[in-house]
Amino acid sequence: MPAPEVSLGGMTPREFYASELKRLREAMVPRMSQEKLAALVFVSAGYIGQLETMARVPQLDLSRRIDEVLKTGGVLERLHSLLDFSRFPDYFKHAKEHESQALSISEFAALIVPGVLQTPEYARAIFIGAEPTRTDEQLTELVAARMERARIVADPAGPELWFILDEAVLRRVVGTRGTSAAQLRHIADVIKRRRAVIQVITYEAGAHALLEGLMCLMTFAEAPPLVYTEGPHAGQLLDDSQLVARCRRAYDLVRAVALSPEASLALILSAAEEHEHAQSSPAARPMA
């Protein structure tokens, strides 16, 4: 369970920030509208509304700009320092909300198939590997939640999807060889149905800009882009504009050295066939 959030007058830091932003805006003489504030800080009125209803996490540089416009003496910048969005369960909940609102999602995966591309069997094996003592009921709930996320891939009105997979994702046996083969066949089907652009970066590419882990870049119609990164038992949403720009450049560099979509599909199918052949071989043994 995540640690409890610090409260201010019975409110969480995020709730307090949202209420203070609205109070300070409306206290201006004459009263300042969301549209006027948005124009002065170079964002959309919808984005200001999202901040005041806690639908978006405020950016530090935006907090500073709003402080200047509303002449708060740095109130929002100081409140921003109280916000703690670094604990994985909380961060992933926010990331999931943003995932459904995104115009585009560009994700790099170094070790396992991204969640929205996973099959139920593959997801179940991942959850068992992470925590072998989970009950069947817990596993069923976790897999169902992951499959709910996976609907975004089938939704024609969903975001534009782009995935880059390290070759290790294709080679790693998760569950059984059959589970891994079926997972790769599913990814190939996503490609063939043109639901996502998927590339593979091979071992021969050597060191690259995202060698160390998972990164997901999300863009939006009326809000700045976000980056979600994840490690063992922790995740983080990044909204600093300079850091997001660096992440975007890193993704572009990896995309440049990855295989073409056509060559990637061929490698994915080849890896699936290898898993299937190994599964059917008399010498093959079940994997835990």
CATH number at residue 56: 1.10.260.40
Structural domain count of the chain: 2
pTM exceeds 0.95 for this model: no
Taking residues 156-164, what's their average pLDDT? 94
Both tokens of residue 172? 């790693």
Same domain, yes or no: 48 and 114: no
Helix (H) or strand (E) holding 222: none
Q: Which of 32, 52, 80 is the last residue of a domain?
A: 80
Instruction: List pLDDT tens digits, range 172-215.
Output: 999 999 999 999 999 999 999 999 999 999 999 999 999 877 89
pLDDT at 87: 32
56 and 223 Cβ atoms separated by less than 8 Å: yes
In contact, 108 and 214? CB cutoff 8 Å = yes
- Give the domain-ending residue among 80, 112, 130: 80
CA atoms within 13 A on the CB side of 287: 17
Confidence of residue 2 (pLDDT cuts 50, 70, 90): very low
Q: Which comes out higher in pLDDT, residue 232 or 62? A: 62
Q: Quote the tokens at residue 226.
A: 């976000």
Expressed as residue numbers, the domain containing 216 is: 88-280
